[in-house]
Amino acid sequence: MLCRSNQIRDPLRTEHREPAAVREDAAMGFDQYHEPANELPAQTRTFARLCASLTEEAEAIGWYEQRLAVEPDNQARAIMRDAQGEEFKHFCMDLEFLLRRSSLWREIAQGILFQEGDIVEHGEEAEEEAVEGAAARGAPLPGTTSLGIGGLRGSRA
């Protein structure tokens, strides 16, 4: 479900500062899952929660950016700038957590983030190299529960 109501999704009103209020909302408790939650492994549920959190932080950053663009009061702007800094931090922590849990995502991100030059070009190259590299290493298929051993050439004999 991609379209959600602002009442639930507006992080400026409902995000982390009021966790109890968010949890009481039955819809919020489960709409981050695209598949039945009871069929998902624990690590996939955690991954989905952090993906939802990442989205909320990005939305909050965007909304603060808009409010800052129109707010004339310097004191109010300073407060919102400070709050937006918090959202930058939250976004980065969420992202780092997710990248640690997905080696393929991490590898692609390494080819794109903090690089000079054409972003799209870096993206295409990073994706191609990472996907081909994962296949060559015998990386586990997404969603499988294999032991993930794959090929061992180049490993210490």
Question: What is the contact surface with another protein in residues (CB under 8 A)?
Answer: 39, 41-42, 135-136, 138, 140-141, 144-153, 155, 157
CB of 102 to another protein, least distance (A): 17
Contacts (Cβ under 8 Å, ≥6 apart) of 32: 48, 49, 51, 52
Q: Which is nearer to another protein, 39 or 73 (CB)?
A: 39
CB of 46 to another protein, least distance (A): 11
Distances (CA, A) of 81 to 51, 72, 153: 24, 13, 51
Q: Which is nearer to another protein, 106 or 137 (CB)?
A: 137
CB of 148 to another protein, least distance (A): 7
Q: Are 60 and 12 in contact, with CB atoms under 8 Å apart?
A: yes
Residue 57: which of 9, 8, 105, 115 has the closest Cα? 9
What is the Cα–Cα distance from 100 to 150, expressed in whole angstroms?
19
Q: Which is nearer to another protein, 16 or 137 (CB)?
A: 137
Q: Which is nearer to another protein, 111 or 140 (CB)?
A: 140
Residue 12: which of 75, 116, 86 has the closest Cα? 86
CB of 134 to another protein, least distance (A): 11
Q: Which is nearer to another protein, 69 or 157 (CB)?
A: 157
CB of 44 to another protein, least distance (A): 11
